Amino acid sequence: MNKNELVSAVAEKSELSRQDATSAVDAIFDVMQTVLGKGDEIRLVGFGTFSVSHRAASKGRNPSTGAEVDIPARNVPRFTPGKALKDAVNKDK
């Protein structure tokens, strides 16, 4: 599912116009990026938790030359699914 399909599904499910659904989806993504950008987490009970994890600096290798490369430290987004989401994904098993 891409963003346009998501907007269409939200519009249909919530009985919003496509324009209102687009605004809602964009607003959710903007808020999530802002919150995660600050290093905070987003807990959606039953769905999951979005958080930020720190990845330490490390050494890597360029596969074509074999030269050692420094990989800088950085923050990475993480998602941990909640029980209800796990159950929904595995309901047929």
22 CB-near residues (< 8 Å, 6+ apart):
7
Q: So what's the pLDDT on residue 70?
A: 95
Ordered domains of the chain (ranges, CATH): 3-89 (4.10.520.10)
What was the pLDDT predicted at 93? Answer: 65
Cβ–Cβ < 8 Å for 22, 36: no
Q: Contact, 52 vs 32, CB < 8 A?
A: no
Closest by CA to 60, choosing from 48, 68, 50, 51, is 68
Residues near 39 by Cβ (< 8 Å), separated by ≥ 6? 52, 75
Question: Digits of tens for pLDDT over the chain (93 positions)?
Answer: 999 999 999 999 999 999 999 999 999 999 999 999 999 999 999 999 999 999 999 999 999 999 999 999 999 999 999 999 999 999 876
What's the pLDDT at 91? 86
